[in-house]
């Protein structure tokens, strides 16, 4: 009799819509993935709504995938594993998980045990209480090295906030809660996962983006995938973010503004040289300023025509490009064992 009741409860649970999808990209985390699933299950044990866990294996070369598959069919856990064909990077892995998510809300976190899943239920409640579309974790007491991790992160957070206008203390924290209807409007590319709040600000007001202090733990297993070289990539990515936020739909304005500026300078230079040559009677044939004026004029024409070409590309390629930036080899959800 008890078995019949349990089966009915399981059937009812399976028909309930998924409220929360937890997306975790993992790459060569064979020692961490087991404890990670255990901690997530423990943290979500008291969560009243239906939730699912999506692990995205980003082309791991160790036993990460095998260790993760051991948890398929675990009681009280709806687990799907998205195996990517090769290592595409954290941004593409996160995009794959978001695309696979079916929940009304989506949570993302790292798979190295540094984020604490116990923060997720309280973050979900805070997101709903404040009526936000994105809630970002703030690792206020960050357990990382000062020179190689904290200082570059502080500098990056300051620059990102200044340029994007979205004021947050910690852009790099992967622990975030999104409304699925919002984050699925954003296409992540390159290494742009650390700029997600800036991309989200492109589709919703920045007032609907907030942050909350979360726990942070020192890495226990494996090695960090980041180093000091990340700082230089962040600077380059930040320039790209600035361009796309301001000129994605009108790249011709960016190149055209530069071209018109150089053109105006070249015109002023030529007017001055014309006056100096024909009014003052001075020789200008060997003067460097003449060469500067000519170069600026040619650069102006080139930049303006580049802007026109950029407008044509933006209105054809980006409008019709719906292809994902990752390739899935297989999805494991337990059905193969049925």
Per-residue pLDDT of 12-25, as tens digits, reads 556 678 999 999 99
Inter-residue contact 18 to 51 (CB < 8 Å): yes
Inter-residue contact 254 to 243 (CB < 8 Å): yes
Q: How confident is the model at residue 321 (pLDDT cuts 50, 70, 90)?
A: low
If one counts every other C-beta atom within 10 angstroms of the C-beta of residue 265, the result is: 16
CA distance 22 to 106: 6
CA distance 328 to 130: 36
Cα dist. 88→83, 290, 327, 328, 338 in Å? Answer: 11, 50, 9, 11, 31
CA distance 40 to 101: 17
What is the helix, strand, coil percentage profile of the chain, to 5? Answer: 50, 15, 35
CA distance 182 to 198: 13
We find that the CATH architecture of domain 18-247 is: Alpha-Beta Complex (3.90)
79-84 and 328-332 beta bridge pairing? antiparallel
pLDDT at 16: 77
Q: Residue 329 corresponds to which tokens in the numbers above? A: 């080899």
Inter-residue contact 202 to 247 (CB < 8 Å): no
CA–CA–CA angle 117, 229, 149 (5° rounding): 40
134-138 and 51-57 beta bridge pairing? unpaired
With 0-12 / 13-18 / 19 or more C-beta atoms within 10 angstroms meaning exposed / middle / buried, residue 293 is buried
CA distance 254 to 1: 71
pLDDT at 323: 64
Element (H, E) at 81: strand 79-84
Is 50 exceeded by the pLDDT of residue 5?
no
Is 80 exceeded by the pLDDT of residue 109?
yes
Query: What percent of the chain clears pLDDT 90, i.e. is strictly above it?
Result: 48
CA distance 295 to 292: 5
The better pLDDT of the pair 275, 162 is held by 275
Q: Residue 22 corresponds to which tokens in the numbers above? A: 């937890």
Coil, strand, or helix at residue 136? strand
pLDDT tens per residue, range 50-108? 999 999 999 999 999 999 999 999 998 999 999 999 999 888 999 999 999 999 999 99
Q: Specify which residues 332 forms β-bridges with.
A: 81
pLDDT tens per residue, range 176-234? 999 999 999 888 876 677 788 888 888 888 889 999 999 888 766 655 555 555 666 66
If one counts every other C-beta atom within 10 angstroms of the C-beta of residue 126, the result is: 16
Q: How confident is the model at residue 303 (pLDDT cuts 50, 70, 90)?
A: very high
pLDDT tens per residue, range 22-38? 999 999 999 999 999 99
pLDDT at 151: 67
Q: Show the DSSP H helices in the chain as ranges.
A: 2-15, 33-43, 64-69, 90-100, 119-129, 151-164, 180-183, 196-200, 230-247, 251-278, 288-320
Domain boundaries in the chain?
A: 18-247, 251-314
Is 90 exceeded by the pLDDT of residue 329?
no
Comparing 3-7, 146-150, 300-304, 327-331, which segment has the lowest mean pLDDT?
3-7
Residue with structure tokens 């292809």? 323
First to last CA, the chain: 23
Q: Residue 239 corresponds to which tokens in the numbers above? A: 């320039």
Provide the 8-state DSSP code for 88.
Answer: -
């Amino acid at each position: 009799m008890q078995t019949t009741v349990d089966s009915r409860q399981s059937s009812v649970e399976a028909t309930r819509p998924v409220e929360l999808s937890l997306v975790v990209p993992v790459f060569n985390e064979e020692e961490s993935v087991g404890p990670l699933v255990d901690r997530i299950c423990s943290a979500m044990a008291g969560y009243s709504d239906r939730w699912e866990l999506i692990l995205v294996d980003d082309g791991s070369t160790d036993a990460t995938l095998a260790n993760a598959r051991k948890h398929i069919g675990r009681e009280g856990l709806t687990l799907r594993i998205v195996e990517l064909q090769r290592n595409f990077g954290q941004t593409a892995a996160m995009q794959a998980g978001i695309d696979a998510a079916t929940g009304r809300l989506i949570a993302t976190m790292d798979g190295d045990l540094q984020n604490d899943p116990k923060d997720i239920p309280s973050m979900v409640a805070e997101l709903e209480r404040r009526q936000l579309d994105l809630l970002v974790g703030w690792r206020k007491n960050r357990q990382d090295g000062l020179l190689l991790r904290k200082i570059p992160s502080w500098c990056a957070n300051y620059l990102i906030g200044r340029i994007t206008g979205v004021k947050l203390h910690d852009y790099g924290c992967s622990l975030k809660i999104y409304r699925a209807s919002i984050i699925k409007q954003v296409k992540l590319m390159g290494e742009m996962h650390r700029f997600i709040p800036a991309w989200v600000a492109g589709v919703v007001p920045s007032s609907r983006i907030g942050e909350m202090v979360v726990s942070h733990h020192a890495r226990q297993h494996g090695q960090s995938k980041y180093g000091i070289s990340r700082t230089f990539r962040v600077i380059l990515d930040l320039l790209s973010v600035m361009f796309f936020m301001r000129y994605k739909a009108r790249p011709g304005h960016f190149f055209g503004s530069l071209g018109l500026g150089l053109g105006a300078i070249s015109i002023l230079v030529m007017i001055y040289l014309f006056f100096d040559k024909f009014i003052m009677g001075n020789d200008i044939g060997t003067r460097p300023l003449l060469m500067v004026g000519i170069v600026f004029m040619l650069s102006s024409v080139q930049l303006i025509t580049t802007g026109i070409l950029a407008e044509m590309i933006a209105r054809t390629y980006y409008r019709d490009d719906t292809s994902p930036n990752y390739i899935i080899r297989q999805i494991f959800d337990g059905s193969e064992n049925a």
